[in-house]
Structure 1
Amino acid sequence: MTMHVRVVLLLIFAALGTCSKSYRDRIPNGHNVLDPCDHSVTWPAVGHDSRHPHHHIKHHLLQFGLDFHAAGKRWTGALCRQDSDGDGRTNGEELGDPSCQWSVGDTPSHRVSGHPGFNEHTYCQGLVG
C-alpha cells in the first residue's frame, strides 16, 4: 500500500471517529452514557443501536438519534423534555439535565442515570431469555 493511500485512509477513519465524538459533546454527559444492560461499559454512539456502528446511516439510529437529528443535532429544551425511549423518564432526566438548563461546555447538574435510546426495563429483559 502506498504512503498516499495510507494517509487518505487515516484521514477517513479520523473523520468518522470525530463525528460521533462531536455529537457526544452536544448532549449532557454524552461521554458517560452507559450500556443499557452492562453498566460497566459506556455506549459511545448514544444515538445508534450499536455501541460502535460500522456505518453512520439513518436506519441504524435509535429514536433518540432520530430526535437529536430532528432537533438540528443539538440539545434543545424540546429534546430534553422528550422521552425518546418511552421508559417514563425524559431524555434530560436520563442524561443528567432534569431541568433542561444544560449548554455545550457546561458541567451537567446530575450524573447520567439511563440511556435515552433504550427502555432498559424491556430491552435488557428481552436479551436475557
Structure 2
Amino acid sequence: MLLKAFLGCLLMTVAHFLPQYRNNILNGHSIPDPCCRGRVWARVGHTGPSQSGLNKFGIDFKLNGNRFTAQVCLADSDGDGVVNGIELGLNTTLYSVGTLCHFVGSYPITPILNAFLKHWNLLANPSGHPGFCDKPHCPAQLRYPCGPC
C-alpha cells in the first residue's frame, strides 16, 4: 500500500513538472492549439494535451538539453516550411531569422527576455505550433489528429 502511494506521488510530481519546460521556449505560454482556435497548447513538445510522447519539436528541444537554442529556433521541426522561431513569433522585419535565432539562443528564455523582445518589436504572438504541421498544405501524417474542441 505504501509503495502504491509513493508511486502515485512520484507520477503526479513528474506529470506536474513536465509542462514547466514551456518557460524555456519563446512564447511558451501562448502556443496556439493546432485544432481549436483561441485555445493554448500547454504541452508544446508533446504529442497531445495529456500524452507523454514527444512530437518532433519536443525531440529537437530534448536533444538540445531542453533549451531553446539557435539550432531549435532555426529548425523546421514540423516540416511545414516555416522555422520554429518564426512560428513562435520572431518578427523578422528588422533582422534576419538567423540573426534573431542566434541572439535568442545565446540567452536562457525567461519572461524578461520575452518582454525585452516584445518591447523592441522583435517578438509577436506565435503564428503556429512548432510541433505539428498546421498549414493547409500539410500532409495528413504531419498533422495532429484533431477531435472535438
Q: Give yes or no for TM over 0.5.
A: yes
CA RMSD of aligned residues (A): 2.5
* Displacement after TM superposition at 1:70 (Å): 0.9
Give 4+ residue runs of structure 1 displaced > 3 Å after superposition: 5-12
* Displacement after TM superposition at 1:61 (Å): 1.3
* Displacement after TM superposition at 1:81 (Å): 0.4
Distance change in 2, residues 1:88/1:46 (3 Å): same
Question: Match of 1:84?
Answer: 77
Q: Distance in 1 between matches of 2:89 and 2:26?
A: 7
* Displacement after TM superposition at 1:119 (Å): 0.8
Question: Match of 2:94?
Answer: none
* Structure 1: gaps (5+ residues): none
1:49-73 per-residue CA deviation (whole Å, 9 max, x = no partner) reads 10121xx3xxx21111111111111
CA contact (8 A) 1:44 1:52 kept: no
Distance change in 2, residues 1:7/1:127 (3 Å): closer
SS in 1 for 2:24: coil
Question: Match of 1:44?
Answer: 42
| Paired letter, 2:81 | G
Question: Match of 1:62?
Answer: 55
* Displacement after TM superposition at 1:79 (Å): 0.8
Structure 1 residue 104 and structure 2 residue 97: aligned? no
* Structure 2: gaps (5+ residues): 92-99, 118-122
Q: Distance in 1 between matches of 2:71 and 2:7?
A: 39
SS in 1 for 2:16: helix
CA contact (8 A) 1:29 1:95 kept: yes
Deviating more after overlay: 37-46 vs 83-92: 37-46
TM-score computed with the length of structure 2 as normaliser: 0.68
TM-score computed with the length of structure 1 as normaliser: 0.77
Structure 1 residue 116 and structure 2 residue 130: aligned? yes
Distance change in 2, residues 1:8/1:104 (3 Å): same
Deviating more after overlay: 83-92 vs 98-107: 98-107
SS in 2 for 1:25: helix
